A and B are shown apart, each in its own frame.
Chain A
Amino acid sequence: GENVEQHPSTLSVQEGDSAVIKCTYSDSASNYFPWYKQELGKGPQLIIDIRSNVGEKKDQRIAVTLNKTAKHFSLHITETQPEDSAVYFCAASKAAGNKLTFGGGTRVLVKP
Chain B
Amino acid sequence: DVKVTQSSRYLVKRTGEKVFLECVQDMDHENMFWYRQDPGLGLRLIYFSYDVKMKEKGDIPEGYSVSREKKERFSLILESASTNQTSMYLCASSSYRSEQYFGPGTRLTVT
A101 at the interface (CB under 8 A from B): yes
**CB proximity of A57 to chain B, nearest CB, Å:** 14
B13-51 Cβ-contact flags toward A at 8 Å (1 or 0) = 000000000000000000101010000111111001000
A42 touches B104 (CB 8 A): yes
Interface size on A, residues (CB 8 A): 26
Contact B42 A6 (CB under 8 A): yes
Distance (whole angstroms) from the CB of A49 to the closest CB of chain B: 7
Q: From A44, which residue of chain B is reached at the shortest CB distance?
A: B102
Bound: A49/B101 CA distance, A? 13
How many interface residues does B have (CB within 8 Å)? 27
Instruction: Please pick, from B42, B98, B101, B104, the residue contacting A96 in the complex, using a CB distance under 8 A.
Output: B98
On whether the beta carbons of A89 and B58 are closer than 8 Å, the reply is no
By a CB distance below 8 angstroms, the chain A residues around B104 are 41-43
Per the bound structure, the CA–CA distance linking A45 and B94 in Å amounts to 13
B62 an interface residue at 8 Å Cβ cutoff?
Answer: no
Give chain A's interface secondary structure class: loop
Of A45, A89, A97, A103, which is within 8 A of B31 by CB? A97
The interface bits of chain B over 81-102 (1 if a CB of A lies within 8 angstroms of the residue's CB, else 0) are 0000000001010111111111
Instruction: Tell me whether A34 and B42 are in contact (CB under 8 A).
Output: no
Residue interface mask A72-112, B partner, CB < 8 A = 1: 00000000000000000101000111111111110000000
Determine whether the beta carbon of A97 is less than 8 Å from that of B94.
Answer: yes
Is A99's CB under 8 angstroms from B97's CB?
A: no
Interface status of B4 (Cβ within 8 A of chain A): yes
Nearest chain-B residue to A1 (Cβ)?
A: B59
0/1 interface trace, chain B 56-71, chain A, CB 8 Å (1 if under): 0011000000000000
On chain B, the residues within 8 Å of A91 by CB distance are 43
List the 6 closest pairs (A to B, CB-CB), nearest first.
A43-B102, A102-B42, A102-B43, A104-B42, A46-B99, A97-B94
Given contacts A41-B104, A100-B33, 16 further A-B contacts (CB under 8 A): A1-B59, A6-B42, A36-B102, A44-B43, A44-B102, A49-B99, A89-B43, A91-B43, A96-B94, A97-B94, A99-B48, A100-B43, A101-B45, A101-B59, A102-B42, A104-B41
